[in-house]
Amino acid sequence: MTDGIRRVLCLGAMLFLLPQASSYGEPAAGFDFLKKNVQTRTLGNGISVIALNRGYSPTLALIISFRVGSSDESYQTAGAAHMLEHMLFKGTDVIGTRDYKKEKKLLDEIEGIGEALDGLRISNPGDRRIPVLEKKLRKLENDHAKFVVSSPYDRIYSEIGGVGFNAATSRDQTYYFIEVPSGKLELWAQTESERLRNPVFREYYKER
């Protein structure tokens, strides 16, 4: 993990662990309960972890929170935070692909055409090359679709009993959240680490 990511990443993991005999069935007592039971740790890599044992369900409700949102955008980058949220659902070079070696060639072509189109649309919106490039981009995107596994993380998490995998972007935070069985914490951590460290921005121009 780079220093830049460490500076902006805050991991909030609300862990709903296996119940303890002394606390099973006892309702949360509002603020006093939270004050006494919430635990916080800062890891060596700068990630903050917040944990709460509510004591009545063998599940983990997990939230990853990045301290970045729409308020960090400029006029030129408006929508980037929400766009990134969507792109981080697309997988990696291992997850979400049927053959990454072949897919990568198409992704590179798509990126080249997409950047050329963006440049022309800004500098010369009436350029006759634009419709030609748009047609070529659509063809490449159709070819690329053959290598894409849709909603790859939904498939991974549903197989282990995960529910509610989703995300949200606000003015100053971006959240990813899910609920999984208590024995799946390590698998979740490995999957999310891969998802955040090695994303592949598939279908970028379709999403945009």
For the residues 41-46, what does the mean pLDDT come to? 91
pLDDT(51) > 90? yes
Q: Strands of 174-181's sheet, edge to edge? A: 9-10, 59-66, 174-181, 163-169
Contact between residue 86 and residue 202 where contact means Cβ atoms under 8 Å apart:
no
Q: Contact, 65 vs 168, CB < 8 A?
A: no
Of the pLDDT bands very low, low, confident and very high (cuts 50, 70, 90), residue 36 is: confident
Strand partners, 168: 175
Q: Is residue 103 part of a domain?
A: no
Global pTM reads 0.80
Name the domain count of the chain: 1
**Is the pLDDT assigned to residue 35 strictly greater than 60?**
yes
Residue 38: phi and psi, rounded to 5, are -70, 130
Band (pLDDT 50/70/90 cuts) for residue 56 is confident
Q: How far apart are CA 6 and CA 45, in angstroms?
A: 7
The amino acid present at 96, given as its one-letter code, is G
Torsion of CA 103, 106, 112, 118, to 10 degrees: -90
Residue 129 falls inside a structural domain: no
In a domain, 20, yes or no: yes
Q: In this structure, is residue 116 part of a structural domain?
A: no
Q: Considering the domain boundaries, does residue 104 fall inside one?
A: no
Report which secondary-structure segment, H or E, holds 208.
none
Measured in residues, the chain has a length of 208
Residue 21: which domain range?
3-97+149-203
Residue 118 forms part of a structural domain: no
| CATH classification at residue 70 | 3.30.830.10
Please measure the distance between the N-terminal and C-terminal CA atoms of the chain and give it in whole angstroms: 27
